[in-house]
Amino acid sequence: MTTNESPILKKWSYRFQLNGIEYSGTCVGATNKKEADKYETIVKAEIMKGNLGILDNKPKPRLKDLIPLYLTYSETNKKSHKGDIFSTKIFLKYFGNIELKNITPQMIEDFKVRIKQDRNNKNATINRHLEALSKMLNIAVANNLLNKNPMWSVKKLREDNHKVRVLSLDEENRLFEEIERGYEVVGRDRKHKIVYPYLHLKPLIVCALQTGMRRGEIFNLKWSNIDFEYEFAELLETKSGKSRRVPISSKFMEILNQLDRNTEYVFTNPATGKPYNDIKNSFHTVLEKANIENFRFHDFRHTAATRMLEKGADIRTVQEILGHSSVIVTQRYTHTTPQYKKKAIELLCA
């Protein structure tokens, strides 16, 4: 529809909807209704052809507009949904108000540098952010919001940013000593009693050391996944999405037999009765008390793999236990300790 906004100046404008989008503007050069209607017809034709140019006032999609669509996809299809939520918050800061079509490979290269400087992120963390960003932009391409993914020429960083860390036997002894340590407290009834604030960590850590499971696999382990007759755990919620069977050692079986089976999950938070989401605070505290430095929960997995191989386990078997896609991946998780290197070199003296 065209209207005469200013009869004195003979200024005509158009306003209409096309495919649910409202367009408006000035009918340049129009001096009457007929000329204004003709101008509006030309604008509509140009929009239909895709030759929008300066006539196009269609809202331009920005990266922030893509985030809800991506998170919906992530929640349904990815194990790393929580990580994706965190990544999108970072994207919002650096790219949020930029139109998708204006995001260039160089901008992404600059983003790599900035998050390394601003957040002191490790290479592996930066690569996870880049993977999420690339997937977001692929979704934009699939939905005709973008012609080409600018990530095509952006290379990932080399992931050699974490030093090898295997728990020594001495550290293991100190760790369990602190976990099992009792502390005398005075209750509200003024009676003295002994509490064990870190004892809940013991079954979790024994499981990690005796199976090589990932933290998420341990937290999600259910009693229905345990086969007590044949002594194995059927892992259904894995990083790869493929189920796998992990044998249960006699030491881990001893721990399982001590736990309450009247719950859905094997490891439940005694404070909530629900499965664990995180044990970061208590875990870091007990590491500090045991004087163990530069150690992550994931390093129990490194430790389990290393110990199995050092004691003669076949690498293909270790690969299957850990759930790796190839032996090459397993080799990244296995590191010979200095003591075993010394024993190996002493063989030359025999």
Q: What is the per-residue pLDDT across 205-235, written as a single tens digit (0 to 9) for each?
A: 999 999 999 999 999 999 999 999 999 999 9
Q: Is residue 242 annotated as part of the catalytic site, yes or no? A: no
Strand partners, 25: 14
- Distance, in Å, from the CA atom of 181 to the CA atom of 191, rounded to the nearest integer, reads 19
Domain 63-153 in CATH 1.10.150: yes
What's residue 52's pLDDT?
Answer: 44
Q: Is residue 284 annotated as part of the catalytic site, yes or no? A: no
Q: Is residue 214 annotated as part of the catalytic site, yes or no? A: yes
More confident residue, 223 or 152: 223
Under CATH, to which class is 169-349 assigned?
mainly alpha
The answer to whether 16 and 8 are in contact (CB under 8 A) is no
Average pLDDT over residues 69-77: 81
Active-site choice (239, 274, 284, 341): 239
What is the side-by-side strand order in the sheet with 2-6?
Answer: 2-6, 11-18, 21-26
pLDDT > 90? residue 343: no
Provide the CB-side half-sphere exposure for 65 (13 A, CA). Answer: 13
Active-site choice (222, 245, 298, 335): 298
Q: Is residue 302 annotated as part of the catalytic site, yes or no? A: no
**What residue spans define the domains of the chain?**
2-55, 63-153, 169-349
Active-site choice (244, 301, 302, 307): 301
| DSSP category for residue 274 | S
What's residue 176's pLDDT?
Answer: 97
- pTM of the predicted structure, to 2 decimals: 0.60
Q: Is residue 162 annotated as part of the catalytic site, yes or no? A: no
- Distance, in Å, from the CA atom of 350 to the CA atom of 103, rounded to the nearest integer, reads 64
DSSP result, 55-113? G--PPPPBHHHHHHHHHHHHHHH-TTHHHHHHHHHHHHHHHTTSBGGG--HHHHHHHHH
pLDDT > 90? residue 2: no
Q: Is residue 239 annotated as part of the catalytic site, yes or no? A: yes
Active-site choice (129, 135, 214, 215): 214
| DSSP category for residue 20 | T
